[in-house]
Structure 1
Amino acid sequence: MASEQSSRRSADMELGRFLHARRTQTSPDQVGLTVGTGLRRTPGLRREELATLAGISIDYYVRLERGKETRPSPSVLDALARALHLDEAEHQHLRELAARAARYAPEPPPPPSRTVRPHLKLILETMRPNPAYVISRSMDLLAWNPGGLALYAGLADWPTTQRNLARYLFLHPTARTVFPDWEYQVRGCVARLRAVAGTDPDAPDLTSLVGELLLKSPDFAKLWERYDVVGRKKTQKTFHHPQVGILTLSSQSMHLEETPGQRLSVYTAEPGTPDHDAMLLLDMTVPQPTGHPDTWTEQHRRTQS
């Protein structure tokens, strides 16, 4: 019972946290308000300004932000979304938070399994020399082919249970060198984790990772506080790789059907280009295990652990 009450309280507060974050990051200029010459102590919009823009009372809005009001109507949510200039993904996230706070949403599912189906491991092998890997919803690296692991320089040095792309970006000493657009990459990474944690804030697979990064990385803590849930996506990524040099690859990420939130990411380059040559070289940087491709991931884990 205590656990259930704690979970409900988290859901109530998550809606308020999201509204607070979006309010403090929305400037009066963005919504057409004229700002006087006096000192503004509050970053972004004041509560009363947002309430006026949304057409609701200041008292009602304060209760929403403090988690004391948990059943805003769809029209109130739409009005707040318009006032804050939320895009469609952010608007949908607001609806999902409100649904969970009002207990309209179903109870969160148990933590997803880390098991990757054997046929997915075969798919990764057939994609070579294109780097490819499977990650969980919390960005744990679950399976990979040689290039997929080697792409993140130094990641293979970590134990398999620690191989997480968010952890790599914020805590690995090589990450800022590998990614020339590191700040762009980490913003998208945090937005993805925030979107998942917003609707399932007590999930163990997320809370342990987020707690670690909040403790160890001030950069992560600052971005986490922003509560962005939409990451801008590029179709290409550039890597400054210490073994194969600079390579720019097209990337594609997709949800895997009938899996617990797992995603497949694949990188490609035009044949005959220097980027493709570098990709071929990258595929050969990881020692190749023997045996059937179906057992590749497990064999590689044993050699790297």
Structure 2
Amino acid sequence: MAEFLRSRRRQVDPAAAGLPSGGPRRTPGLRREEVALLSGVSHTWYTWLEQGRDIRPSRQVVDALARTLHMTPAEHEYLKDLAAPHHSQARGGALQRGRSMPAHLQRLVDALGSSPAYVITGSWAIVGWNRAYERLYPGVADVAAGDRNLLWLVFTDPAVRALLGDWTTDSRRFLTQFRAEVGPRLADREVTDLVARLEEASPHFRAGWASHDVDRFSSSQRRFEHPVVGTLLLEHHQLTPADAPGLQLVVYTAAEGSDAAGKLARMTA
């Protein structure tokens, strides 16, 4: 939480916060005492919070800090996760329990036909997929189980990089969504090990992770450059099974107005 607060504080324009410029500043953003004043807390207490001391802000203080630091809704939710250990542990526990692919969920994935679909755990390990996804990403079955993680593949597999039509934007979006989703479990061994491996393997991931940016998932279009059928414009959906809350079902469907439906049908024929 301390690092996240510091990163958000540096991004706030003092003028946008209603403060006089007061001349040049040695560092960008707000000063700690300004954040404290605008949030209705003491300077000392807020300093302790940014120093990582073992204190937990109330929900009211979290909301005040989010307003002062002009946080997005996703950043606000992430801060609440970091500040509420009991709620976060409960939510994180649900994510942690989903580590294997239930047979009934695999049947559902297979029934999706020409729509590429896969299932990930709370740490984004890929635990199941259908034939259409294997045609979209032919190497998925050959990846070692320990490396078959969506975030790992996005940042380290050249085939995935070539497949994503706008890798720079897409990889950044994956990273910020991952951080938001694992907020309750940032200190878990599985997450810290994955982050450490990625920081060593990918300078792009290392820079993006250090920014502390977060964003919640929302359905959107994604462009793929497939080696056989060419450009595919697909809509990205993400669902949580009611009886397996630790897993997420990801489905790609043809974007409205695109020629992707025919191409997906040819891929899976």
TM-score computed with the length of structure 2 as normaliser: 0.88
CA distance in 2, matches of 1:89, 1:152: 30
Q: Which residue matches 2:82?
A: 97
Is the contact made by 1:236 and 1:249 (CA closer than 8 Å) also made in structure 2? yes
The corresponding residue for 1:21 is: 7
Q: 1:138 to 1:276 in 2, by over 3 A?
A: same
SS in 2 for 1:195: helix
Check 1:189–1:204 CA distance in 2 against 1; reply closer, same or farther (3 A cut): same
Matching residue of 2:162: 177
**What letter is aligned with 1:225?**
A
Partner SS for 1:236:
strand
Counterpart of 2:190 in structure 1 is: 205
Paired AA for residue 212 in structure 1: R
Q: CA RMSD of the aligned region, Å?
A: 2.5
CA displacement at 1:142 relative to structure 2: 0.8
Equivalent residue in structure 1 for 2:263, among 261, 265, 278: 278
Q: In structure 2, what is the equivalent of residue 219 of structure 1?
A: 204
Match of 1:109 in 2: 93
Secondary structure at the residue paired with 1:253?
strand
1:235 aligns with 2:238: no
- Show the 5 A alignment for 1:1-305: 15-38=1-24, 40-100=25-85, 106=89, 109=93, 111-152=96-137, 154-231=139-216, 233-269=218-254, 274-284=259-269
- Aligned partners of 1:132, 1:141: CA distance in 2, in Å? 11
- Determine the C-alpha separation between the residues in 1 that align with 2:82 and 2:145: 33
Inter-CA distance 67–276: structure 2 relative to 1 (3 Å threshold): same
Structure 2 vs 1, CA of residues 272 and 224 (structure 1 numbering), >3 Å: closer, same or farther? closer
Equivalent residue of 1:259, what SS? coil
8 Å CA contact 1:150–1:156 kept in 2: the answer is: no
Query: How many Å apart are 1:198 and its aligned residue?
Result: 2.7
Compute the displacement of 1:229 (Å). 2.4
Pick the structure with greater CA Rg: 1
Partner SS for 1:174 = helix
Match for 1:129: what amino acid? S
Amino acid at match of 1:175: V
Q: In structure 2, do the counterparts of structure 1 residues 274 and 226 end up closer, same or farther at CA, with 3 Å as the change threshold?
A: same
**Identity of matched residues, %:** 37
Distance in structure 1 (CA, Å) of the matches to 2:31 and 2:130: 51
1:87 offset after TM fit, Å?
Answer: 2.8
Q: With structure 1 as the length reference, what TM-score do the two structures score?
A: 0.78
Helix, strand or coil: the match of 2:152?
helix
Q: Per-residue displacement from partner, 1:182-218 (whole Å, max 9, x unpaired)? A: 2222222222322244322232331221111011111
Q: Secondary structure in 1 aligned to 2:215?
A: coil
Q: Where in structure 1 are there 5+ consecutive unaligned residues? A: 1-14, 285-305
- The runs of at least 4 consecutive aligned structure 1 residues that moved more than 6 Å come to none
Q: Contact 2:126–2:150 at 8 Å: present in 1 too?
A: yes
Any unmatched runs of 5+ in structure 2? Answer: none
Asked whether the 8 Å contact 1:138–1:205 carries over to 2, the reply is: yes
Aligned pair in 2 of structure 1 residues 104, 273: CA closer, same or farther (>3 Å)? closer
8 Å Cα contact 1:188-1:231 kept in structure 2: no
Q: In structure 2, how many angstroms separate the alpha carbons of the residues matched to 1:251 and 1:66?
A: 39
Give the aligned residue type for 1:228: D
- Equivalent-residue separation in structure 2 for 1:105 and 1:136 (angstroms): 17
CA deviations on 1:214-264 (whole Å, 9 max, x unpaired) are 111111111111222214635211101112200101221111112152111
Shift of 1:113: 4.2
